[in-house]
Amino acid sequence: MQYGYFDDDAREYVITRPDTPYPWINYLGSEEFFGLFSNTSGGYCFYRDARMLRLTRYRYNNVPADAGGRYFYLRDNSGGNADVWTPSWMPMKSKLDRYECRHGMGYSRISSSRNGLAFSQVSFVPLGDNCEIHKITLTNESGAEKNVDMFSFVEFCLWNANDDMTNFQRNFSIGEVEIEILSADSRHPTGAARIYHKTEYRERRNHYAVWAVNAPVSGFDTDRQSFLGLYNGFDSPQAVFKGEASNSVASGWAPVGSHHIKVKLAPNESKTFVFVFGYCENPQDQKWEKQVSGGNHGVINKTPANKLLDKYNTAEAADKALAELNAYWKNLLGKFTVDASASSRPDDIKMARMAGVWNQYQCMVTFNMSRSASYFESGIGRGMGFRDSNQDLLGFVHLVPQRARSRILDIAATQFPDGSAYHQYQPLTKRGNNEVGTGFNDDPLWLICGVAAYIKETGDYSILDEKVPFDNDEKLADTLFIHLKRSFDFIVTHKGPHGLPLIGRADWNDCLNLNCFSATPGESFQTTANFESGVAESVLIAAIFAFTGPDYIEICKRTNRADEASYAQKEISKMIDAINQHGWDGDWFVRAYDAYGKKIGSKECDDGKIFIESNGFAVMAGIGVDDGRAVKALDSVKEHLDTKYGIVLLQPAYKDYHLELGEVSSYPPGYKENAGIFCHNNPWVTIGETVLGRGTRAFETYAKICPAYREDDSDLRRMEPYVYAQMVAGKDAPRHGEAKNSWLTGTAAWTFVSISQYILGVRPVFDGLLIDPCVPKDMKGFTVTRHFRGADYHITVDNSAGAEKGVKSVTVDGKPHEGVIPAFNDGKVHNVLVKM
């Protein structure tokens, strides 16, 4: 069953009933201020760092689901009995006469109605400012006058999200607020009410949050208990049921922000209110309103808040900001568009809406969030991942190359001088995270991969000359090129007995913990490396080396480093020899060697005989293409790992916990890395299939995990039909087909690479754009527009011949052309016609 539909023209997903199989969320914000926003107005917001600067509270592991949000309560006093309801359905689960939630590019709209009172909310983070805007419109659709009480509600988080939900002995005594009621004047034409959250401002913080509305209020609450009642949930706030706020001023306990607004509406009349939730900082020496020595240190300096709130104090200002946001996204998504109307396959519209819109949108979100804040990542545990953020670049770099560039420099600064890297870093400090540390031996290679993608997109080699610290230490700075060399050399100098790369704590598969023999419950599988074998090796790292190494060679050649290029070539050849000798199992590629030198992912094993990752990546790297092994490997993947919903990570699933394997065997069969459909690596097989020229199979592997293709199966899949999930339960799991961990997954970037660069085949390479589609035979054609290095390419592919791969002829601007299409960089549109 479906819970909504795609509105392709508006670039929105329209949810038509509120009780989706899981909260279906959207992300507001694309720069520094972010909000998570569900289809029933749940979620929270933060400034830059979901752990350190959390602005509103959210309850994880919640009952009912999705507890905490920006809520609006309506109390319709018409007809004698007061009717209290929440127009976003939650938290009261109000019966609604009409409901719709439209998640769009950086904004969401909820509209609903009950008993002739219509509500509409549009929520977004404007470009360039640190706030959420919630524009609310109430309309009287009944024939009689209505008197309505509207109450807003947010619950402030005391900044550090981890401390906020654990350190109650302190936190219950520190909460502080200020309230400001402004009557109408020239700056605030409709009056205003502003609730400031300033906990800890008296000491070391110089920031505060503010929850404001551009209207006079008849009351407010800032103390949670006064608003809700101690034993009430969000679904029965006593102030709303009473119809009166208590003007409470929080002192300790739980500070909240609630405005009470009385709204009188004649028949057909509408009134609009602009609510703003903002984050403001003051310079250290201007923290207080009055700089009286020894005096008035209690009143915060509201200059930045006034600037922000005065800017957005009318509906017109909010509309203008939304229009700017829409224009911003229109421009971004104009960089890569797909039109599949010539394909002759009706379902290709699903591919087009994902590749052209939602997949790229998700890439922006993963670029911004890494794996920090979602409805599955608490925002507390994981910062920016070294491998994750590098891979996220692959799907993002064409959108805003400048931001990709500075991200690369941030990531590289967390590399150690020997080429290894901090596995994670904190977005606020940009410093490596000591708790997780280093030792994930695939990490270094992803930096080469990310930088190569950046250079192929932009042609900007100057990034290689940027001086970048090692270990965040300026004294250890060297050029980015040297960082790449250290990455490359790290692999060369860390090999095991078979000449394959040592795995360290884990490779891409965080759960292959071959040097962690953990028998203690609760111990970290990854950081408790207690069996430093010096033996466990990864065939996957070898394959990544073989795939990304050639890019390193190209970079060397193009920057006059011929000696380094030939050294690199020799090392890559050696690695490929090692894979051929010790990484081939007869029908597929081996996955790894454990701490005793025993194979993992081999027919010799009882469970875990075959893994997806090494097979996908080895074929991507072209290994075994000449002698039939690559075909065999991917045929084996199909035979042993394929399911209706995608390709599982391994088979047979581990039935028991294996001390020598670690977390992979900790999961019940069919979930996560233990034979779940771990979507991130499915596109590696897709790309591998295009290397083999098997377009029909490539597309099949693409479509199986593509959420839009499972829209009508939402009861089973449960997650949003417009975003990829990290995992879909595999065939060994009781809930085969159910997805989890939507949004923050490397699946976003890799599926975008697989569809845009390898299936549709529009691939940035060092010299320009390579057009090399690999499609199903019955896909008769399509059009892609691609903005690339300062010019626009309008690419029409004609596959009336019914081929799967192979370009017969190309014309550029009407003239026959061979090979890579150059970067014209002339600000013009170029028409490219491709015949397969």
Q: What residues act catalytically?
A: 510
- Total chain residues near ligand BGC (CB under 6 A): 6
The closest of 515, 576, 519 to 542, measured between CA atoms, is 576
Is 673 among the residues that bind ligand NOJ (CB under 6 A)? yes
Q: Torsion-angle region of residue 482: left (phi > 0), alpha (psi -120 to 50) or beta?
A: alpha
We find the least distance from the C-beta atom of residue 382 to ligand NOJ, in angstroms, to be 7
Helix axes 443-458, 480-492, angle to 10 degrees: 140
Binding partner at 763 among ligand BGC, ligand NOJ, none, C-beta below 5 to 8 Å by kind? none
Site for ligand NOJ in 288-307 (CB under 6 A): none
Nearer to ligand BGC, 385 or 761 (CB): 385
The region of 275-283, 335-343, 383-391, 826-834 touching ligand NOJ under the rule CB under 6 A is: 383-391
What burial letters (b/e) apply to 306-335, b meaning 16+ CB within 10 Å? bebbebbbbbebbeebbeebbeebeebbeb
We find the least distance from the C-beta atom of residue 420 to ligand BGC, in angstroms, to be 17
We find the least distance from the C-beta atom of residue 526 to ligand BGC, in angstroms, to be 6
Nearer to ligand NOJ, 313 or 742 (CB): 742
Helix (H) or strand (E) holding 245: none
We find the least distance from the C-beta atom of residue 511 to ligand BGC, in angstroms, to be 5
Judge whether 3 and 21 are in contact, CB under 8 Å: yes
The closest of 27, 303, 109, 47 to 311, measured between CA atoms, is 303
Nearer to ligand NOJ, 97 or 435 (CB): 435
We find the least distance from the C-beta atom of residue 663 to ligand NOJ, in angstroms, to be 9
What burial letters (b/e) apply to 500-516, b meaning 16+ CB within 10 Å? bbbbbbbbbbbbbbbbb
Is 754 among the residues that bind ligand BGC (CB under 6 A)? no
Nearer to ligand NOJ, 3 or 525 (CB): 525
Is 26 among the residues that bind ligand BGC (CB under 6 A)? no
- Location of structure tokens 């490219």: 832
Nearer to ligand NOJ, 13 or 508 (CB): 508
Is 613 among the residues that bind ligand NOJ (CB under 6 A)? no
We find the least distance from the C-beta atom of residue 823 to ligand NOJ, in angstroms, to be 32
State which of residues 109, 640, 672, 763 lies at the interface with ligand BGC (CB under 6 A): 672
Nearer to ligand BGC, 313 or 665 (CB): 665
Is 371 among the residues that bind ligand NOJ (CB under 6 A)? yes
Site for ligand BGC in 515-534 (CB under 6 A): 526
We find the least distance from the C-beta atom of residue 117 to ligand BGC, in angstroms, to be 46
- Total chain residues near ligand NOJ (CB under 6 A): 9
Is 385 among the residues that bind ligand NOJ (CB under 6 A)? yes
Site for ligand NOJ in 505-564 (CB under 6 A): 508-511
Output the residue with the shortest Cβ distance to ligand NOJ.
510
Burial-class residue 394 by CB neighbours within 10 Å (0-12, 13-18, 19+).
Answer: buried
Output the residue with the shortest Cβ distance to ligand BGC.
510
Binding partner at 385 among ligand BGC, ligand NOJ, none, C-beta below 5 to 8 Å by kind? ligand NOJ
Nearer to ligand NOJ, 226 or 366 (CB): 366
Q: Under DSSP, is residue 191 helix (H, G, I), strand (E, B) or coil?
A: coil
Is 742 among the residues that bind ligand BGC (CB under 6 A)? no
Burial-class residue 799 by CB neighbours within 10 Å (0-12, 13-18, 19+).
Answer: buried
We find the least distance from the C-beta atom of residue 741 to ligand BGC, in angstroms, to be 8
The region of 453-461, 504-512, 638-646, 693-701 touching ligand NOJ under the rule CB under 6 A is: 504-512
The closest of 255, 308, 256 to 278, measured between CA atoms, is 308
Rounded to an integer, what distance in angstroms lies between the CA atom of residue 772 and that of residue 761?
4
Nearer to ligand NOJ, 732 or 772 (CB): 732
The one-letter code for the residue type at 538 is S
Rounded to an integer, what distance in angstroms lies between the CA atom of residue 829 and that of residue 6?
29
- DSSP for 565-593? HHHHHHHHHHHHHHHHHHSB-SSSB--EE
We find the least distance from the C-beta atom of residue 377 to ligand BGC, in angstroms, to be 10
Q: Give 567's Cβ-side CA count (13 Å radius).
A: 9
Judge whether 540 and 579 are in contact, CB under 8 Å: no
Q: Under DSSP, is residue 801 helix (H, G, I), strand (E, B) or coil?
A: coil
Nearer to ligand BGC, 207 or 672 (CB): 672
Angle at 719 between CA 713 and CA 723, to 5 degrees: 100
We find the least distance from the C-beta atom of residue 790 to ligand NOJ, in angstroms, to be 34
Is 377 among the residues that bind ligand NOJ (CB under 6 A)? no
The region of 47-55, 204-212, 385-393, 590-598 touching ligand NOJ under the rule CB under 6 A is: 385-393
444 to each of 357, 439, 723, how far by Cα in Å? 31, 10, 28
Binding partner at 23 among ligand BGC, ligand NOJ, none, C-beta below 5 to 8 Å by kind? none
Is 388 among the residues that bind ligand NOJ (CB under 6 A)? yes
Rounded to an integer, what distance in angstroms lies between the CA atom of residue 726 and that of residue 581?
33
Is 387 among the residues that bind ligand NOJ (CB under 6 A)? yes
We find the least distance from the C-beta atom of residue 764 to ligand BGC, in angstroms, to be 28
Neighbours of 242 (CB within 10 A): 13
The region of 95-103, 491-499, 502-510, 688-696 touching ligand NOJ under the rule CB under 6 A is: 502-510
Binding partner at 508 among ligand NOJ, ligand BGC, none, C-beta below 5 to 8 Å by kind? ligand NOJ
Binding partner at 526 among ligand BGC, ligand NOJ, none, C-beta below 5 to 8 Å by kind? ligand BGC
Is 673 among the residues that bind ligand BGC (CB under 6 A)? yes
We find the least distance from the C-beta atom of residue 71 to ligand NOJ, in angstroms, to be 32
Is 732 among the residues that bind ligand NOJ (CB under 6 A)? no
Site for ligand BGC in 492-511 (CB under 6 A): 510-511
Angle at 54 between CA 50 and CA 59, to 5 degrees: 90
Binding partner at 387 among ligand BGC, ligand NOJ, none, C-beta below 5 to 8 Å by kind? ligand NOJ
We find the least distance from the C-beta atom of residue 783 to ligand NOJ, in angstroms, to be 34
Rounded to an integer, what distance in angstroms lies between the CA atom of residue 38 and that of residue 103?
9
Give me the sign of the Cα torsion angle 279, 281, 287, 290. negative
Binding partner at 782 among ligand NOJ, ligand BGC, none, C-beta below 5 to 8 Å by kind? none
Q: Where are the beta strands (DSSP E) in 214-269?
A: 219-223, 255-265
Nearer to ligand BGC, 673 or 804 (CB): 673
Binding partner at 197 among ligand NOJ, ligand BGC, none, C-beta below 5 to 8 Å by kind? none
Helix (H) or strand (E) holding 784: strand 781-788
Is 720 among the residues that bind ligand NOJ (CB under 6 A)? no
Give me the sign of the Cα torsion angle 41, 43, 48, 52. positive
Q: Could you tell me the two tokens for 476? A: 């250890």
Following CA atoms 439, 442, 445, 449 in sequence, which dihedral angle do they give, to the nearest 10 degrees? Answer: -130
Binding partner at 509 among ligand BGC, ligand NOJ, none, C-beta below 5 to 8 Å by kind? ligand NOJ
Give me the sign of the Cα torsion angle 686, 687, 688, 691. positive
Rounded to an integer, what distance in angstroms lies between the CA atom of residue 566 and that of residue 808?
34
Judge whether 720 and 13 are in contact, CB under 8 Å: yes
Residue numbers at the binding site for ligand NOJ (CB under 6 A): 371, 385, 387-388, 508-511, 673
Residue numbers at the binding site for ligand BGC (CB under 6 A): 510-511, 526, 663, 672-673
